[in-house]
Structure 1
Amino acid sequence: MSYMEGSQGDPSSTRSRDLCGKMDAGTLEQEKESSVDLQELQNLDYVDDFFCSLCQLREQGLLVDICLALEGRLYQTHCLPLAAVSTFFAEILEQGQRNMVDLEGKATCCGLEALLDFAYEGHCDVSKDSAMEVLRVSEALGAPRVAALCKQFLNPALQDHKEVLASEEKLQNLRGIQELQRHGIGWDLELQADGISLKVHRVILAAGSDFFRGMFTSGMKEAHQDMVSLSTFSSADLSLFISFIYSGSLLLGWDNVFEVTEAALPYQMSGILQLCYRFFRENMESEHSLDVLALAEAFDLPELRQETEDFILRNFKEVAQVPKFQDLKMDQLVALLSQDGLYTTMEFEVFQAVLCWVDEDREARLSQAAKVMKCVRFPLMTNRELRQVIAADLMAPSEKCYKVLEASLLSVPKGPSVLSQLPCRIRLPSHVLVIVGGDSLTRNLSSRVPSQDLWFAHRFISGIGLVKHIEWKALSTLPDMPRFRHAVAVLDNILYVFGGNHFYGKEDVLKSVVRYDPLQDTWERLADMQERHNYFQAVSLGGLLYVLGGNPDNSNTQCLDTVECYDPAKNSWKFVHPLPLPLCGHAAAVSGGKIYVSGGCTGIYHILRDLFHYDPAAGSTHLSPMTHVRGGHVMEALGERLYVAGGLSHGERGYMDLYACEVYSPAEDSWTDIAPLTHTHVVAASVTFLGELYVLGGYSYETYKDTHLVHCYNPKSDRWVNLGTMPKAYTDMKACVLSLPSHLRERTPET
């Protein structure tokens, strides 16, 4: 059942639901095997919040159930988190003897406090003087993971891992608590709802849910009852909530995510809602987008509504073909079609969507057709498309819709057209496409000049007759000097710019690195790379940055096989495993947590077909080679695939421009041809943006002409579209995607 067919926002409505993803932890493995369309999502923010709440309950002395006596001191705490990490406390919990426990002779205050810190925070601070003491206590109390951390501390080579492991240890602690609940150990409360009964721990529910925290810590009668009946819960909802509180994870798929979201909203189960919203963002597809929009509107979820509406506008052609599109109310359809951000390569597609909507219930919708037709921007159509419009029976001269067409065409200003005066379709993405540096010809075409400029694409505009335009604005200027043949990478919305050339001489290759923070609009000079690099690649993976190969001296006779790794936290570089051979003019991208490298040239002008997976620790694994040899090309990850376009190949007289494009499937280790480029792009820039592959600038080897064109490839339509031009015809520049603050975007347009 689709959400649009459901209760439209009544949280108390009766819902018949499959319990997939809502069973207790004991059925989790069975659910994974039987529900291939479900995916398990873990909310690590919930895990952190859970233990933070648990710490607060302990500090406030709420729901504490055990007192530990040691060296004349009393420690009021919760037995359950201790039992999750210590066999000693697990036995106490199972035996039910939790009031007062004397630890004299079994522990020291230093060791016990370290154990408490680990149980509640996932880490314990030990020093050189205390490590052995904590180790002895953890071994005596049966806390093997605390003992392992002490041993890591005592081994200097492993000390860097302590902070990384804290969140993982907390997740393990929660899983230990889940195991205790699964085996019915230490429960102090029985919850009943709609014919089911669940044995739980009051303190865990209070730490995991605002709803239950209020029930058990604010003096309500339920705080003292051994059995609580929840008449407002269905059995499915209660099972869902308890399973999530004890695990921080859910099994979600399109078959249950709407019902899970609807169940969590009345009780403000924020951890569950975060996972549902994450599922919607990461798995949004045309078939379900209108259901998500209806959900967001029914429950007044503005952020989800905006994201879903953006998806629908970006993918209008596909969404219009979904059967649920025909069920939209007139006001809903008008609201969508009126948006400037509606993306379509042909305005005629909007007209066709309106015709189909009217024909779905012609008798009832004929009177509404003219109002909806006013949203179609007829001046954006070609003469051929307008002839097709007039041929439709709904557009007969006697019909109201024909008068809408007439009025729309007459609204176009006479004389030279200005885009701001036309009924344009405008894409105004939340993130922006940025181009960095490059070089270009001077205005008199007499020489080339490197660039220090950063530009961003503020808006994408479709004008009359499918003429497209990109509104560019100046973002910033590279500090110190211009750069071309450089590399860029983005980490946590910070732009890093590496090496490249600042001029055309043999010694003009750079080692320097700078980074730009768009939120602060500031630049910072970082530690230099250990070698000079141009015609190379940079990628971000696991919080680190890698630069791969390149040319060290502009001689075009040698390439590098070295790979350098930059750690932003330490502002330092180190060499890691080298490439399998020296390369320059290659392409690199990250997909599925792996670095892939394709094509490029060796130092003897030989272009390659190679594709390999590069592991900084273990080296390279060669994969199926590309169909064509390529150098100076682009490669980007989109979805679960790698898309390759442009560049040079071998020709009868040396090199030749390459129009052919191809896509690689890591799962199948195979290449497939896709639509070829309509224009050559050698040493161009590229990004993935709004679900499409963008290729910008570059030059043609055969004509030696630069290009200022921007093309994008849509995988769903297998089609390249010319989106407009750059501020200049740049080559050897780079591109990326950043989130900019509003004050930078609101600057006066430059081009």
Structure 2
Amino acid sequence: MFSILAKLFHSLNLIILPCYVDSPNLLVRKVKSNKSCIHSNHDRFELVDQFEKDLGRMAASGDVGKLLQVQNGTPANTTYSGVDAVHACNILQQLKALYDEAQLTDIVVEVDHGKRFSCHRNVLAAISPYFRSMFTSGLTESSQREVRLVGVESESMHLVLDYAYTSRVMLSESNVQALFTAASIFQIPALQDQCAQFMISRLDPQNCTGVYMFADAYGHQLLRERSQDYIRKKFLCVAREQEFLQLTKEQLVSILNNDDLNVEKEEHVYESIVRWLEHDSPRREAHLAEVFSQCIRLPLLDDSFLSRIPAPFACALSLSREPAEAKARLNGCSQRLGMTASEMVICFDAAHKHSGKKQTVPCLDTAAGRLFKLCKPPNDLREVGILVSSENDIFIAGGYRPSNSEVSIDHRAESDFWQYEHAGNRWLARSPMLRARIGCRLVHCCGKLYALGGRVYEGDGRNALRSVECYDARDNCWTAVSPMPVAMEFHSAVEYRDRIYILQDEYFFCFDPRKDYWGHLSPMSVPRSQGLVALHKNCIYYIAGICRNHQRTFTMEVYDIEQNTWARKKDLPFDQATSPYIKALLLQGKLHLFVRATQVMVEEHVFRTSRKNSLYQYDDKADAWTKVYETPDRLWDLGRHFECVVAKLYPQCLQKVL
């Protein structure tokens, strides 16, 4: 018991003084004062919070004296020296007060545009080796009352001083690089690292190349690696940006000469090099052969593509008259990461046959007939909102954690929000939603992600939600937007040309994120909920669902968005007796249905149930569905609430099942 307390006091930087034995309550107050000073460290704060009550009871019982025996086994009557963590906090606060009041300042720092700051030499010297050397070297600056710094912006100096006196820093996209530069000049690595983390959190296809060049110029390893990884991951988008053309030869080679480049064809690498070359041909032509030799994997280029390469570039590639001969000389080169990607059907809320109700996330590669497993959602979350963005990012939001109770009202909604990392086959936590939700719909629109509706179990029972919130990946934060006109939990949602379309029962709404406005559209002819929705060829397909009389229907209607008209199509070719559970998805550019059908067979007067999972493909011209694939029934089954999405996954990053 007391050894644990010793560790606690050590973590608080608090050594027990003899006076605490005579006055136990003083010890309690001391812990409380330390507690108020360590609020920034959540784990330590929680430890003190739990310990505080026990310490009070020990003070009342007179057992506090025994604590003196836990410090390295020293007898209780030994003299001790104390370290007061609050003292450091108070010193910093008082120094900041003196700075704000311009009291006892002994140096004036002048930066660009003549901005002057009165401050304290010892504070500057304490945080910066640059200033320490300036003030203690015995040179002219050490005795001057004023020093002038060239190349330091006034806002950056203000932020550096604020950090020096408070340990806090306020970062924004407009000030972070200038502050990083100032921190580099003043040799403050902790401040540089905070700036780097801020820039990493805001990487996007438009700025990542500039951040990479910035990090390379300053030699910041982490920022350089993360920005380079981002460029490779989003290469096709990044290579179209103007900043990509500003890369040096060495930087370009460092990016392209890597297995993790996310390209489906080596031709994309060739085209990016040619574009980079043509941006500054006179100075870059001499480097072309070197760049080609280090970056282009010749065997991965298609023969017909090679035959069309212009003569100067073909010469730089060292191609002979017969491209096949040149390719034959280079064997054994590895594929890029993007070349291994396969479009797969991912099933959430699937249950493993041999592990009770434990969830698995099977991934079916229909083209190769292979089955893999994706890392399951954290905390075994069920009925989450799921989205695969146009950039192949996978998100899940909300849901509930399974418990021993089978009663739905006991399902506590969660606000968790996660993004899947392909290379690591893991889920990365993002900022949680403002509102906990079960079964919400996620839609990507205008560069942001929207969580719409869902349900919670609160108060008098099950409650559908009207609320809508928007996630901005650049700031990693959610904001509330205008709620839906009515609460919805069995709705469907799709995005088309920067608008979100929501359908349920007799309701059909269109949301314009730029205007934060909800509009009403003509409803479908057969009102129903829990239907399936898919956007295909500029039309919204609404498939199956539950009618108002609680009967299932296999009706399919199509909404022409441009014409603002509904059209009835043939019903789905399924039998109610098979209790099919259906999900709509776009696979290889075509509309498909993933169907779980149950068959009941009688064998020797014994009823046996079997389930078959199949893919049906839609023929637009014939208005007909055809079974094109029957999934392997190996190791997994689907629950009634399963969801399907399609994404490109990397087989080498997944666990193979079949």
Give the structure-1-normalised TM-score. 0.44
TM-score using structure 2 length = 0.49
